[in-house]
Amino acid sequence: MRFEQIGEGFAMIQTRIIPVPTATQQEMLIEITENVCKPYCVGSNLPAATVEFSTGVSRIINGSAIVPVTAKVTIVTPYTKECGCATTQVLTEQFDIAFEATGTNTVTLVPGASVIVDPAYVKCCKARGVKIVTTLTATIA
């Protein structure tokens, strides 16, 4: 888990392993909380978010393959009369996953089919952030 102070809130990414039956596959619940550049009204006009995952070069440490993962988060805050113009932000978060080292240590990432978006850092009916929840399955070959 990584925290970074940004303005009134924190930007962070949390990963939780969901048990699966094989040593070469991990399913994770990913929670990303980000500040938005402009507050938005809490209600029916929630921001939309997408998350794209990519891997970096794995490294072997004490028999484990450590694989860096980057989450590219796009947040689109809609226009509302009360809160003003629409905005789009593109942010990145990073975390590592570990596997028992195998042959090529090539990792395939399969993101979940859905993304849940909830308000974060709410004050006086305006949110200054979003909490994004999705799943990710990583398989090593």
Strand positions, DSSP E, the chain: 2-6, 9-18, 25-41, 48-55, 59-61, 64-77, 87-100, 107-111, 116-123, 126-140
Mean pLDDT of 95-102: 82
Predicted structure pTM score: 0.81
What does DSSP assign to residue 80?
B
pLDDT in tens, 65-83: 888 999 999 999 887 776 6
pLDDT in tens, 3-56: 343 444 456 777 777 766 577 888 889 999 988 888 888 876 788 999 999 999
User: What is d(CA 9, CA 43) in angstroms, rounded to the nearest whole number?
Assistant: 20
Q: How far is CA 74 from the centre of its chain?
A: 10
Q: Parse the chain into domains and list their residue ranges.
A: 2-140
Environment class of 42 (CB within 10 Å of its CB; exposed 0-12, middle 13-18, buried 19+): middle
The residue whose two tokens read 């809160």 is: 83
Please choose, from the candidates 83, 50, 55, 87, the residue with its C-alpha nearest in 3D space to the C-alpha of residue 69: 55
Say if CB 13 and CB 32 are below 8 A apart.
yes
